[in-house]
Structures are given as C-alpha cells and as structure tokens.
Amino acid sequence: MAIHSGRHQFGTDKGRVTLRTFRDGLAAQAGHDLTIEATRWSAELVVSPDQTPTSLKVTVDLGALAVREATGGIKPLTDRDKREISVTARKVLAADRYPEASFTATTFKPDPAGGGTISGTLSLAGRTAPLELRVSQSGPGRYRATTTVRQTDFGIKPYSGFLGALKVRDTVDVEVDVDLSAAEDHEAAA
C-alpha cells in the first residue's frame, strides 16, 4: 500500500522525533543516557503521480526539546533536572542563534520491503553536512527513519561536566517515527 501522490504535511500530529544521547568519560556512571523528544517539528513530503517521493523537508524547533527518559546514573532525574538539561541542550546547540535544525532530502533509494534510504543535507548550528536516513516500514503507512549525528561535524562541542570527567558522547542517535496511514486511507477512499 503506497502513499498517494501529492503534498503531505505532518509533524507532531503524526509522528515523533527522538534523540538519544549517551554518557561517556571517567565519571560516566554518575550521568544518564537520555531520551529527548523534539516537541515541535514539521515535515513536507511530495510524492509524484507514480507514487515515488520527490522531495522531503523536515524542520525541528531546537527551543522545544524535552527530556522524556533518563537511564543509568547514581540517582533518578527530577522534573527540575530534566528542565535544566533541556536548557543546557539549547545552549550547547546555540539555539538562540540557530533556532532550527533542518533536513532536506536530495536522493530517495527505495527498498522493495517498504523502506530504503534517504540522502540529503542536515543544517544544524549554522553548518550543513550530508546525512543519510535508513528507513523501514513498521506497519501499513508507518515508517521509522534512523540516523546518527556527530555533534563535532557541526562545530558543536558535546556537553561535559565535572572538569571533563562526565561527557556526552559525540554521536547522537536520531529516530523519526511517522504514521502516514491517513494519507494511504485517503487514496483508498478516492
């Protein structure tokens, strides 16, 4: 079942963007691995009449990052800790100067199993670099895209504390889950 041709706009109403950070350094056991959600983002996907994607643009509001889960560490995070981490993340990402991250697709390589790869460029913290998303179909009209972003590729110095003994690993895992089944249902009804 393919998504019908046309322009499809979606965001938090049909999906979720999740960032996963991991602790590093000599004092790593004191820190937490974090699951952070982008609570404001939008995307536009254009599909041609032959039902192949022709363009994709995703924009994430870096001022709307929220810590959803923390594992590890000496003690659990409080709600206040989570809010403070979100503020620190915005500072590390220079969200005051560069309030958005964006991904623009340049190439779509479908896989017969319903997924494939999407290559494009990621703009983050005032820099742009190539990025590839691995896409899998998790159900009818449901897709998961995954990638890893290296912060230093964008001039971002990963967070560190306790004189560098506790750090956030340079690589951040990104997962995007979207439900485009309503777009497919629209095709079936037409």
Look at residue 62 in the predicted model and tell me its pLDDT: 97
**Per-residue pLDDT averaged across 116-126, rounded?**
97
Structure tokens at 134: 């691995």
Which residues is 121 bridged to in the sheet?
104, 130
* Residue 190 banded pLDDT, cuts 50, 70, 90: very low
Q: What is the pLDDT of residues 54-108, one digit of tens each?
A: 999 999 999 999 999 999 888 899 999 999 999 999 999 999 999 999 999 999 9
Closest residue by Cα to residue 122 from 89, 92, 155, 76 = 155
* Residue 185 banded pLDDT, cuts 50, 70, 90: very low
Look at residue 113 in the predicted model and tell me its pLDDT: 73
Please indicate whether residue 144 or residue 168 has the higher confidence score (pLDDT). Answer: 144
Q: What is the DSSP letter of 140?
A: T
Q: Which helix (H) or strand (E) holds 37?
A: strand 33-38
Q: Give the chain's count of helices (H) and strands (E).
A: 2, 14
Q: What gap in Å lies between CA 152 and CA 147, rounded to an integer? A: 15
**CA of 106: how far to CAs of 29, 69, 119, 121, 126, in Å?**
40, 33, 6, 8, 19
Superfamily of domain 6-189: Lipid/polyisoprenoid-binding, YceI-like (2.40.128.110)
Structure tokens at 20: 């996963």
Q: What gap in Å lies between CA 184 and CA 112, rounded to an integer? A: 18
- Backbone φ and ψ for 181, nearest 5 degrees, come out as -65, -30
Please indicate whether residue 70 or residue 4 has the higher confidence score (pLDDT). Answer: 70
Query: Global pTM?
Result: 0.88
What share of the chain in percent tops pLDDT 90? 68
Domain coordinates of the chain in residue numbers? 6-189
Q: What gap in Å lies between CA 171 and CA 21, rounded to an integer? A: 7
Which residues is 57 bridged to in the sheet?
44, 104
